[in-house]
Amino acid sequence: MSEAYHNDPWSSGGRAGRWNHDGVRMIYLASTPSLAMLEYLTIKGSVVGQNNWYMITFEIMDEHIIDDLEAESLPDEWNLIPHPFSTRQFGSGWVKDIDSTFLRVPSARIPIEFYSKEHNLLVNANHSELKTLMRVISETSFSYSLGMKGTPA
């Protein structure tokens, strides 16, 4: 998480992503720190090595309220780059329905076979009960160690 979001981890810039259109507020989380770091690295590239980042760990008060997107229901092109319209349409519709707060989805950065072990979590930033269903439990500052020429590994 960048410095801007570190100061308000509940915020969402509303910028378009794989699962939302521009202007639709959604928070993206990952099930493991390594997956979160991989997501940022593959999206931002080596520029991540130039900044300080924050890993925010959240606790969801009741795991039973997390909905799952079944792998069989994914559109064929769900993991293409750039992000396909179909996934943005699906996720934006999910946010606007406000029926649920959390939706487990596969990461486009790792093989779908790992979905049961590692995944991303979409958070409906518009849900009125969000701050009672999820809380921040830790924050860790870190830098990417990319092992680039002239930098310590």
The residues with which 20 forms a beta bridge, in sequence order, are 17
Q: Give the pLDDT band (50/70/90) at residue 133.
A: very high
Give 144's contacts (C-beta < 8 A, 6+ positions apart): 37, 41, 48, 49, 53
Which pLDDT does position 76 carry in this prediction?
Answer: 86
Residue 140 corresponds to which tokens in the numbers above? 């860790």
Is residue 2 pLDDT above 60, yes or no?
no
How many CA atoms are closer than 13 Å to the CA of 142, on its beta-carbon side?
14
| CA gap 86, 6 in Å, rounded | 30
Residue 15 DSSP SS3: coil
pLDDT of 146 > 70? The answer is yes
9 versus 128: the higher-pLDDT residue is 128
pLDDT in tens, 68-115: 999 998 988 999 988 899 999 999 999 998 789 999 999 999 999 999
Residue type at 122? L
Distance CA 16, CA 112 (A): 23
Whether the CB-CB separation of 147 and 53 falls below 8 Å is answered with no
3-state class of 117 per DSSP?
A: coil
Q: pLDDT tens-digit profile of 37-75?
A: 999 899 888 888 888 899 999 999 999 999 999 999 898
Q: What is the dihedral of CA 59, 64, 67, 73, to 10 degrees?
A: 130
